Structure 1
Amino acid sequence: MKAIVNLLFFTLLLISFTAQSDNMRPASLTIESIDETNFSVVWKVPAKGNKRLKLDLVFDNSVSRTKPKQVNFFNNAYIETWTINRDAGLLGISFMVAGLSKSSTDVLVRIIDSNNKTVTTVLNADKPSYSLAKQASEQTTLTYITLGIEHILVGFDHLLFITCLIFISTTRKKLLLTITGFTVAHSITLIMAATGVVSIAIVPVEAVIALSIVFLAIEIAKKNKASLSFKYPVLVSSSFGLLHGFGFASVLAEIGLPKDEKIIALLYFNVGVELGQLIFIAALALLFVLTKWLYPPLKVQNLARIISYFSGSIAMIWLINRLALF
């Protein structure tokens, strides 16, 4: 058992160094009509310093460039902007992202026609190319639900926080209230930040998110059932949930929202986050049942101790790294 614990501890520490929590940012492509045959292009790729992901946008032969590319690095992104011409208009335009088939990054595509209508889709390793055959109203809904699910499932800090919430909720009723409180709280700040009602610097927010995990890890390790965290876990989940909402909003700000369907896209992104959250909780429950079946001596108390040490150690690494960005 000790060997397994040590192996899991090493694995999670390795994940913390290589993944660095919530850094799996998508690339994005926006094609917007200037008139019926001319279009502006904004190609945005995640970057660190002056190094970017090796992803390149390639149009079909029916597209010609009318202005040279302008290139710059801004806010952890490599950005190219230029204009193109296509005599046949937007319908039928085709392009691919070179290098995407070997990458785990998604590319969010927005195509805006002259009537300000937006077609939205996502490219990935399984779908590195796209051709605009027709507008589909369900594309925005499906795209932003998918992005929400993907974001929560690769947001390791959010997942660790949810895991810790489970272990301070001593009954099913408390767990339901705790997760509901977290959902309501982060939904409020996500909507407020995404619509511009509230603006807050993301670096200190991400540092406090890491600190929230450290706090919960300590509470789980202490096992003081009389503490405020164990007696009223919904207060903890909703308080820190407000900050997690700003974290979700920072990712959504990089993804962007379609002009004509901003509210719809925002709501469905949040729906995707909640679905991803439920998927993760269900997976944890299944994992615990399977582990208990394979190793009957395992007790919830022992598992809680492991989770507290793992979560606290990883979150401390994130906290130190994020404080270094101030």
Structure 2
Amino acid sequence: MTSPIRLALIVVALAGLVWPDFAFAHDVARSDRAFVEATHGLAILPFMYLGAKHMVTGYDHILFLLGVVMFLYRMRDVVLYVSMFTIGHSLTLMLGVLFKTGASSYVVDAIIGLSIVYKGAENLGFLRRMGLSIDTRVAVLIFGLCHGLGLATKLLSLSIAPDGLIGNLVSFNVGVELGQIIVLFLVISLLNIWRTSPHFPRTAVVTNWILMGCGTAIMIDQTLGYLAT
């Protein structure tokens, strides 16, 4: 067994030691939950803050975006793929909450784990070797829809007041995109430094194995949680 595979398995094992904080990718902090349930009327800035906080602290989003942009060297490609993810995420978040359409949080979070595994596997060339031809733009859009549905599902579990709901949702979405810009700036800045290293090709392989390990850990835990319900 190669060392990257061993490393990925170690990641899965270590992640199991910090359940449920690691695997429950879209959980809402207790303090944020209390604030949302106590809010009546329009609260633009607080909901923008919550949206930005969700993105900046949402390691599942960060892992997926890292996989997406790792081998994108042109800014227009970064903008294209991130825009596809943003469209999907925003669409299901807004419509899911407005039309009270949710799904099992276990299933959604397992799919989010799958999205991370997918990007790691694609970056490592596994899909190409298997003869699979998948339009990455479409895949990123679909997984963006899943990420948004995951958050919508969590928000639907809260007692959100209808007064100011649309404005607060829009503010939350704006905050998510602002947070995403911050995350992307940091990730791309570090990537640009990392790519100058002669060790980048090898460490990138290891990193993608780690991504697959993290995604697998999320999938396993959420699948077991679903089967236990």
When normalised by structure 2's length, the TM-score is 0.79
- 2:199 corresponds to 1:298: yes
Q: Does structure 1 retain, via aligned residues, the 8 Å contact 2:27–2:154? A: no
For structure 2, the residue ranges without an aligned partner over 5 or more in a row are 1-5
Query: After alignment, is 193-202 or 182-191 more displaced?
Result: 193-202
Q: Residues 145 and 254 (structure 1 numbering): CA distance in 2 closer, same or farther, change over 3 Å?
A: farther
Q: Distance in 2 between matches of 1:257 and 1:109?
A: 6
Contact 2:86-2:144 within 8 A present in 1 as well: yes
Q: 1:108 aligns with which of 15, 20, 35?
A: 35
Residues 150-165 of structure 1: pairs in structure 2 closer than 5 A: 150-165=53-68
The AA in structure 2 aligned to 1:235 is V
Q: Give 1 or 2 for the bigger CA radius of gyration.
A: 1
* Bigger helix share: 2
Identity of aligned residues (%): 25
Q: CA deviation at 1:144?
A: 0.6
Spell out, residue by residue over 1:172-214, the C-alpha distance to the aligned partner (whole angstroms, 9 max, x if none): 3222111001100111111111112533222211111111111
Aligned partners of 1:179 and 1:234 also within 8 Å: no
- Alignment correspondent of 1:320: 220
Question: Aligned pairs, how many?
Answer: 217
User: Shift in Å at residue 228 of structure 1?
Assistant: 4.0
2:78 maps to which of 175, 184, 188: 175
Q: Distance in 2 between matches of 1:110 and 1:187?
A: 21
- The letter for the 1-side match of 2:22 is Q
Contact 2:105 2:154 survives alignment (8 Å) = no
Please tell me the root mean square deviation across aligned C-alpha atoms, in Å.
3.2
State the one-letter code of the partner of 2:190: L
Q: Say if 2:117 and 2:216, in contact at 8 Å, map to a contact too.
A: yes
Tell me by how many angstroms 1:151 deviates.
1.2
Aligned residue for 1:260? 163
Give the 3-state SS of the residue equivalent to 1:260 in structure 2: coil
What does the per-residue CA deviation read over 1:286-309, in whole Å, with 9 as the maximum and x for residues that have no partner? 22344467xx3233x334312211
Which residues of structure 1 form unaligned runs of 5+?
1-5, 29-104, 113-117, 120-136
**CA 248–111 in structure 1, closer or farther in 2 if over 3 Å, else same:** closer
C-alpha separation in 2, matches of 1:257 and 1:297: 51
Higher strand share: 1
Q: Which amino acid aligns with 1:305?
A: V
- Whether 2:22 is the aligned partner of 1:20: answer yes
Q: Does 1:307 align with 2:210?
A: no
CA distance in structure 2 between the aligned counterparts of 1:9 and 1:264, rounded to whole angstroms: 44
Question: 1:13/1:278 Cα in 2 relative to 1: closer, same or farther (>3 Å)?
Answer: farther
Relative to structure 1, the CA distance from residue 163 to residue 282 in structure 2 (aligned partners, 3 Å threshold; closer, same or farther) is: same
